[in-house]
Structure 1
Amino acid sequence: MDRTSSAVLVEPRRIELQSFPLPETGPDDGLLRVLGTGICGSDWAPYAGTWMTELPPLVLGHEVVGEVVAIGARAAHRWGVAEGDRIVLEESIPCQHCRLCRTGRSHMCDPMHTPDGLRYGLTPSSLAPHLWGGFGEYVYLHPRSVVHRISKDVPVEVAPLFIPISNGIRWIERDGGCRIGDTVVILGPGQHGLGCVIGAGLAGAGTTIVVGTARDDARLALAASLGADHVVRAEDGPLDEQIAALTGGQMADVVVDVTAGSSGALAEAVSVARVGGTVIVAGSREMAPATGFRPDLLFFKELTVKGVYGHDYTSVRRAIAVIESGTLPLAGLCTHTFGLGEVDQALRTLGGEGDPTAVHITVVPQSS
């Protein structure tokens, strides 16, 4: 076989299966046969055409797990992997020489921030060797790729959870500064919110509260199974009053806003943070303004507000350890699987245009 298929976003809301040549690999790179790729919330904006519309054609998908089928000798030594190993990829392919890379933000070295950065799932497929996204049969392993081995005992649908779990670990502990006994409030019980529940448990939070809506009942139940102490529905009353009742009026040390498209979530996050607390803002609102936000509360409460973009090497290693341990009911998050010819349906399901019970969706090429 000298060619392979990928699901290419050619324009907003239009996916086509296209054929590409399999690249020849040298001593410094490799080739990955994709076993499965999870769909992240960030895949929705380019698919829907609400943001990053200049990028297509491209192959989306960056929560990649696969089997190494070709690897050069220097790449094998550098990465510590061999043909036949199962690995996951970090989405950034850092240039290693820009200011971001040299100041601890190599995970942000990508086409959005630096001229030389590459990123799995956001690099146009017109750039040779074309195989830059997980919604395909193969992915090219660039010499600067950041890879991690993962046990073959981990189900293919579970392995892509390394991204939401590693994000949750970093956002809660490193960015949020969560300490043993702290109270954590998580706004939004999607896959990244559930990753934050896991992160809060690892950080030793004393109380973890997850906020959703009535339509999130299944996700809130998953949050409880992963260690959340309380779940709250926004319809049940003013959020600050509900959090005050659960915390004896002390409110939250760390608040993480991982809601999708909720313009009022930042205002709610600030309202439930305690004096001296930290508010973490995760994910994109596609440049929409925050409604109801009162900056004076930052002053009166001496709050720290941080935006977060993703994970780092250490948090990914910890996430893989959690997954491999098998101690958490992660399979419950894996609600849907689609084949390569069903990527359009998979993305629409992620965006709320399909089964409303979806939590984490995986594209498995060989199932198509």
Structure 2
Amino acid sequence: MTSATGLVLTSPRSFEQRSFDLPDIGASDGLLRIEACGLCGTDHEQYTGHITNPQACIPGHEVIGVVEELGNHAAGRWGVNAGQRVAVEVFLSCRECGQCQAGVYRRCERNGLRTMIGFTDADTPPGLGGGYASHLYLGPDSMLMPVPDELDPVTATLFNPLGAGIRWAVEIPETQPGDVVAILGPGVRGLCAAAAVKDAGASFVMITGLGTRDAERLALAPAFGADLAVDVSETDPNRALREAIGRKADVVVDVTAKAPAAFAQAVQLARPGGTIVLAGTRGSPETPGFEPDHIVYKELRIIGALGVDVGAYRKALDLLVSGRYPFEDLPRQVAGFDDLEPLIQLLAGERSGVPPVHGVFAPDPAQS
């Protein structure tokens, strides 16, 4: 094969399928044959233009694939071999600057947001910088994680949202055994966060959703560690938590997107001295029901979370292999090049119907 195929987002709501020349691979880079790429809320926000991109790009960043070509220096740098199935870290790391040396490579001085997988310029060769493609170019600063043989490529894409659940709901708020945790948003990241905190020893986990769109997800929540699932269109979550256990939450994790009222709920749900982690975009400058004084009265700790890290991803892969939660059975839809856009429209709420809990792109859905 001398060419690759990619689905390029040229402007909001405009995809173009293109052919790309496969790059020559040197000592420090590599080439990945993509098997599957999970769909994230970021993807459909790119599609609608809610997240702007200054250039055409191939979206998709929850990438699983097989290393097809690999330079000798890259093999040592990444710790993988040609022919090995790997997960791809979204951020790149030079491994040399102060930020990378300190372990916060999301702020790498050579990379950062501008070189993230799924956002780079499709018109600058080799152009293969995102997951909606048959191949992904692996530059020298790439970061790869071996995928255990027990995981199929589609299930393995959950390394990304489950890694987010581990970092956002356990590591950042320093969730302790016995804690009460409230998770706002029952999408795939919310369910992953529930499993992560339950696995970390949380004594009680509540998860919230809204209306018909979230009904199936709330019904699934107990299988992923939730002790209480609440539809906030019918029930006040603060009252529901109080009636269930008689106290407020030690940790509240808000993974909702475009739900500005959720932050006010988070402040209400947190106990005095509790922690709130904001890991979803508000989608609005308005915050209905929010009373800032409660942050002062309760002395709350509020932390924003962007991205994950390799350590959390590795823990996620281990948890997926353990089989303690039925991630392989999540209701999902796998789409190829020809039917990916309708699935993204469904996830974005621009097409009628209830979206699947887990959406995945695969260059060849029949083999996924």
TM-score (structure 2 length as normaliser): 0.94
Shift of 1:103: 4.0
Does 1:281 pair with 2:278?
yes
Assess, with a 3 A threshold, how the Cα gap between structure 1 residues 194 and 26 changes in structure 2: closer, same or farther. Answer: same
Q: For 1:291-310, list aligned pairs within 5 A.
A: 291-310=288-307
8 Å Cα contact 2:94/2:111 also seen in 1: no
Q: For 1:61-210, list aligned pairs within 5 A.
A: 61-97=60-96, 100-109=99-108, 117-210=114-207
Shift of 1:108: 4.3
Correspondent of 1:217 among 215, 218, 221: 215
Distance 1:76 1:111 in 2: 21
8 Å Cα contact 1:92/1:110 also seen in 2: no
Measured on the aligned residues, the alpha-carbon RMSD in Å equals 1.8
Deviations 1:232-267 (A, max 9, x none): 11123322212211221x200000111121111100
Task: Name the structure 2 match of 1:9.
Answer: 9
Task: Name the structure 1 match of 2:361.
Answer: 363
The 3-state SS of whatever aligns with 2:318 is helix
**Structure 2: 5+ residue stretches without partners:** none
8 Å Cα contact 1:29/1:143 also seen in 2: yes
Shift of 1:285: 2.4
Task: Name the structure 2 match of 1:245.
Answer: 243
Shift of 1:84: 1.0
8 Å Cα contact 2:105/2:112 also seen in 1: no
**Structure 1: 5+ residue stretches without partners:** none
Assess, with a 3 A threshold, how the Cα gap between structure 1 residues 344 and 109 changes in structure 2: closer, same or farther. Answer: farther
8 Å Cα contact 2:181/2:205 also seen in 1: yes
The 3-state SS of whatever aligns with 2:339 is helix
Distance 2:110 2:124 in 1: 12
Distance 1:90 1:192 in 2: 17
Shift of 1:112: 9.4
8 Å Cα contact 1:7/1:341 also seen in 2: no
8 Å Cα contact 1:209/1:231 also seen in 2: yes
The code of the aligned residue for 2:76 comes to H
Deviations 1:70-127 (A, max 9, x none): 001111122221111000101011244555434432124499956xx51100112122
The code of the aligned residue for 2:363 comes to P
Q: For 1:27-66, list aligned pairs within 5 A.
A: 27-54=27-54, 56-66=55-65
| Segment drifting more, 280-289 vs 18-27 | 280-289
TM-score (structure 1 length as normaliser): 0.94
